[in-house]
Each structure stands twice: as structure tokens, then as C-alpha cells.
């Protein structure tokens, strides 16, 4: 409140706002942590993954005790401990076209903590459709970038990224690594952009900011609105309006395929555990069943989603899913 840029009015706006942080990896941990400390009244943290050892050097809400726990649940617990006076909602889901509108419908701002382009295009479609500002962020190796999108006022994400790059075309944190400071810097910038959006400040980042923390190379690239943009001009929300029964995604560089059934209620993890016990090494936790085969490992969540580790072959993953979880 002492800071003249915010003041008591700004602080009140923060308390009334809802921020949705999609993905609580390194960017999301930093951004969500800052937003909680700033006093944003409602924060939703959305993530589909569980915590792995190789996350701990950069994902600052987690520590060694949390390995194998769901990121959304642990993040919510830590954020609540940081600021008990705000409301935190963990959402342990894969964000996709079937659920994203429900997840972000009451958002004042959406913060990108994802690690993949497909979800960013989807966020862009939905935020433009519903006129919700969002902050893009990405980091890899020693560099990162961020861009702030106010639908119909600034260029959108698709104005400069016309289509999803081909699979394998982009490096990933799992193929080239990431220096911990860079997503923390970018996540911090994202949190400040979200803050400015919430309090109604106009001094937003209007360009694509790129920073290399190793070389100290800082660039600010002007982005122009594309007058033929499929998303913000033609309103053709093709990432939102797809029709599929299940979403099968090979997670690039991770030798893992994710399978997300679209229309399916919650499954009984206990029953699944009992069923799989006869077939191999299986572990039941509060949120998952982890089933180990000689060459593969399946992590199955309550909503029927599964991660098939040990293969990048989508068809093989689908058949393992059908075999052990049920199609």
C-alpha cells in the first residue's frame, strides 16, 4: 500500500481479483508465489503433473519431501501457508478444450506457466473469446521471454505465432535443460504484469521481452497486430473448437505420452489398484495409482487421465491405457 504505484485502492483491487495460473512449474511457482504474497484474493493453480526430482532446482514452491505428489495440490498448500487470508483453489487437471472455459471463466487475469505451445494457443483462443487479459511466459536454457495480451487492444499471441511449431522443432527443458534463475526472472515479470492488469495500470509491457541471463542480452521486440489473425480478427477459435474423444499427447523430450479422456467421470483409484495388483508392481496414493511394468510406468489420476512413461509412441500408449485402465 505504501508503494504509490499500488496504494490502498490497488491493494483492494488485488484482494477482489482472481488470477488463474496455468501450469505450476518454475514460471508458475514464482508467479503464483508473488501473487499470493501481493494479496491477490483468489488464485487458482492448475497443473496436470506430479513433482519430480529434476524439478526441484527451479520450482521454488516444492522440496524433496514433495516428490511424486501432484504439483497443484502441493502448490496450493504452500501458497495457503504463505498467505492464509486468500482463497487458493488447486485444479489437478490437464487443461484442454473441454475444460478451459470453466477453469478461467471468472479470471481477472490468466498467467501462463505452461511448458507447451498447444496449451498457449488454447489459452489465447479462450482469453480472446472471453476478453480476459493473459500474460505469456516461456523459459529454456539461459533465456526466456514474455508478452502481455489484452484482447482486442494489443496484438494477440497468434498475431506473431501463426501456428504451433512442428513436434520436436522447439527445444524443451527436458532436452536442453534450464538454468534456474531464468524462469524465476520471467515468472516474476509475469506476476508484475498480472498486478498491473488487476489494478488497472496502463504501463503494461507492449512488446515481446527477451532476456538471456547468461549473456545479459536484453531485447524488446515490437509486435504488430496481424490484420488477418485467425484468432483476434477472424475469431476462428480452432484450438478451442476441436472435436475429439480423447486427447493423446506425446510430451516432447520426456519419453512420455499423456492420455486424457474427454467425457468420463471420476474413476475409483482403489478399484483400479486392486485390479492391477495381480498384474505387477502397483502403488496407491491419495491422488494417483502408479503401475510399474518392466519397460513402462503408468501414472493414473482420478479423472481417468494417465501418463505413460517409457514411450513416445502414441499408439502403444493408447493400447497400454486400454489394456490396464480401460478405454
The residues carrying an active-site annotation are: 173
Report residue 57 as a C-alpha cell: 532446482
If binding is defined by CB under 5 A, does position 51 make contact with Zn ion?
A: no
Cβ distance to Zn ion smaller for residue 92 or 229: 229
Count, residues near Zn ion per rule CB under 5 A: 6
Cβ distance to Zn ion smaller for residue 147 or 321: 147
Secondary structure of residue 143 in the 3-state scheme: strand
Question: Binding Zn ion by CB under 5 A: which of 73, 150, 159, 308?
Answer: 159
Task: Give least dist CB 127 to Zn ion, A.
Answer: 11
36 touches 83 (CB < 8 A) = yes
Cβ distance to Zn ion smaller for residue 164 or 269: 164
Task: Give least dist CB 229 to Zn ion, A.
Answer: 3
Question: Binding Zn ion by CB under 5 A: which of 156, 192, 317, 325?
Answer: 156
**Span of 203-211, 225-233, 234-242, 295-303 interacting with Zn ion by CB under 5 A:** 225-233
If binding is defined by CB under 5 A, does position 71 make contact with Zn ion?
A: no
Task: Give least dist CB 215 to Zn ion, A.
Answer: 30
**Span of 72-80, 157-165, 174-182, 210-218 interacting with Zn ion by CB under 5 A:** 157-165
Q: Which residues contact 271 (CB under 8 A, 6 or more apart)?
A: none
Looking at the DSSP bridge assignments, the partners of residue 250 are: 257
CA geometry: angle at 85 spanning 82 and 89, to 5°?
A: 80
Cβ distance to Zn ion smaller for residue 61 or 127: 127
**DSSP track, 47-110:** ---B--GGGTTT-TT--GGGTTSBHHHHHHHHHHHH-TTSEEEEE-S---TTTHHHHHTT-SEE
Task: Give least dist CB 220 to Zn ion, A.
Answer: 19
The single residue listed with the C-alpha cell 496484438 is 155
**DSSP track, 148-174:** EE-TTTS--HHHH--SPPPTTSS--HH
**Span of 88-96, 155-163, 287-295, 305-313 interacting with Zn ion by CB under 5 A:** 155-163
Question: Binding Zn ion by CB under 5 A: which of 13, 58, 120, 158?
Answer: 158
Residue 4: count of CB within 10 angstroms of its CB: 7
Closest listed residue to residue 257, CA positions, set 296, 304, 302: 296
If binding is defined by CB under 5 A, does position 230 make contact with Zn ion?
A: no
The C-alpha atoms of residue 1 and residue 101 are separated, in whole angstroms, by 33
127 touches 104 (CB < 8 A) = yes
If binding is defined by CB under 5 A, does position 229 make contact with Zn ion?
A: yes
The C-alpha atoms of residue 78 and residue 109 are separated, in whole angstroms, by 21
Rounded alpha-carbon distances, angstroms, from residue 184 to 75, 97, 120, 143: 15, 28, 19, 11
Cβ distance to Zn ion smaller for residue 202 or 227: 227
Task: Give least dist CB 158 to Zn ion, A.
Answer: 5
**Span of 169-177, 222-230, 252-260, 269-277 interacting with Zn ion by CB under 5 A:** 222-230
Looking at the DSSP bridge assignments, the partners of residue 173 are: none
**Span of 45-53, 159-167, 183-191, 253-261 interacting with Zn ion by CB under 5 A:** 159-167
Question: Binding Zn ion by CB under 5 A: which of 72, 75, 198, 232?
Answer: 232
Q: Is 186 buried (19+), middle (13-18) or exposed (0-12) by CB count in 10 A? A: buried
Task: Give least dist CB 159 to Zn ion, A.
Answer: 4
Chain residues that interact with Zn ion, rule: CB under 5 A? 156, 158-159, 229, 231-232
Amino acid at each position: 500500500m505504501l508503494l504509490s504505484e499500488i496504494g490502498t485502492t490497488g491493494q483492494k483491487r488485488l484482494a477482489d481479483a482472481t488470477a488463474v495460473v496455468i501450469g505450476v512449474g518454475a514460471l508458475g511457482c514464482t508467479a503464483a508465489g508473488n501473487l499470493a504474497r501481493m494479496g491477490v484474493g483468489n488464485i487458482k493453480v492448475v497443473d496436470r503433473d506430479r513433482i519430480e526430482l529434476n524439478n526441484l532446482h527451479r520450482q521454488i514452491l516444492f522440496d524433496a519431501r514433495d516428490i511424486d505428489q501432484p504439483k497443484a495440490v502441493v502448490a496450493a498448500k504452500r501458497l495457503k501457508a504463505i498467505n492464509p487470508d486468500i482463497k487458493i483453489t488447486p485444479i489437478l487437471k490437464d487443461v484442454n478444450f473441454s475444460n478451459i472455459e470453466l477453469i478461467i471463466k471468472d479470471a481477472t487475469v490468466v498467467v501462463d506457466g505452461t511448458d507447451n505451445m498447444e496449451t498457449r494457443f488454447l489459452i489465447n483462443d479462450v482469453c480472446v473469446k472471453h476478453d480476459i487479459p493473459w500474460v505469456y511466459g516461456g523459459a529454456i536454457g539461459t533465456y526466456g521471454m514474455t508478452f502481455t495480451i489484452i484482447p482486442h487492444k494489443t496484438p494477440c499471441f497468434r498475431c506473431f505465432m501463426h501456428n504451433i511449431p512442428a513436434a520436436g522443432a522447439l527445444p524443451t527443458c527436458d532436452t536442453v535443460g534450464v538454468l534456474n534463475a531464468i524462469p524465476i526472472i520471467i515468472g516474476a515479470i509475469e506476476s508484475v504484469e498480472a498486478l498491473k492488469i488487476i489494478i488497472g495500470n496502463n504501463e503494461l509491457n507492449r512488446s515481446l521481452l527477451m532476456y538471456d541471463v547468461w549473456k545479459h542480452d536484453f531485447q524488446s521486440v515490437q509486435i504488430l497486430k496481424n490484420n488477418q489473425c485467425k484468432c483476434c480478427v477472424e475469431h476462428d477459435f480452432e484450438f478451442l473448437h476441436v472435436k475429439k474423444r480423447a486427447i493423446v499427447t506425446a510430451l516432447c523430450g520426456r519419453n512420455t505420452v499423456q492420455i486424457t479422456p474427454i467425457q468420463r467421470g471420476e474413476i475409483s483409484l482403489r478399484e483400479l489398484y486392486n485390479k492391477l495388483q495381480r498384474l505387477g508392481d502397483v502403488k496407491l496414493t491419495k491422488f494417483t495409482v502408479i503401475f510399474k511394468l518392466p519397460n513402462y510406468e503408468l501414472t493414473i489420476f482420478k479423472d481417468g487421465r494417465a501418463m505413460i512413461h517409457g514411450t513416445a509412441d502414441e499408439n502403444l500408449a493408447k493400447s497400454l491405457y486400454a489394456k490396464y485402465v480401460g478405454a
